[in-house]
Amino acid sequence: MTTEHLILALLSSSVIGGAIGAFITGRFNLRTKDREYENEYFKLILAKRIAAYESIQKLVTGLKTAVLSDDRQPLLAPMPI
């Protein structure tokens, strides 16, 4: 093998190795970004659900608040807005 062939083989193997390494790194980064996006999306959905459940809890608490009057009739407290 001549020197030119040896240099060509080394350069082509390093270029191919670099391309394969870049491809693997790119796929890994894309997968990581997709998972980060999914996690942020589910955090947003979870925050909205918690807010909805808290507002439902306030509504139900307002509806359940009652006291008995002197004639034993339940009196409901006004609902908070």
Q: Quick one: pLDDT at residue 1?
A: 66
Q: Using CA atoms of 16, 18, 21, 26 in order, give the dihedral in degrees to the nearest 10.
A: -110
- pLDDT > 90? residue 4: no
Q: Quick one: pLDDT at residue 23?
A: 92
Q: Quick one: pLDDT at residue 59?
A: 84
Q: Residue 68 pairs with which residues in a beta bridge?
A: 74
- pLDDT > 60? residue 2: yes
Residues 6+ away with beta carbon under 8 Å from 74:
66, 67, 68
Average pLDDT over residues 39-47: 97
pLDDT in tens, 55-70: 999 888 777 767 777 8
Residue 79: which pLDDT band, with cuts at 50, 70 and 90?
low
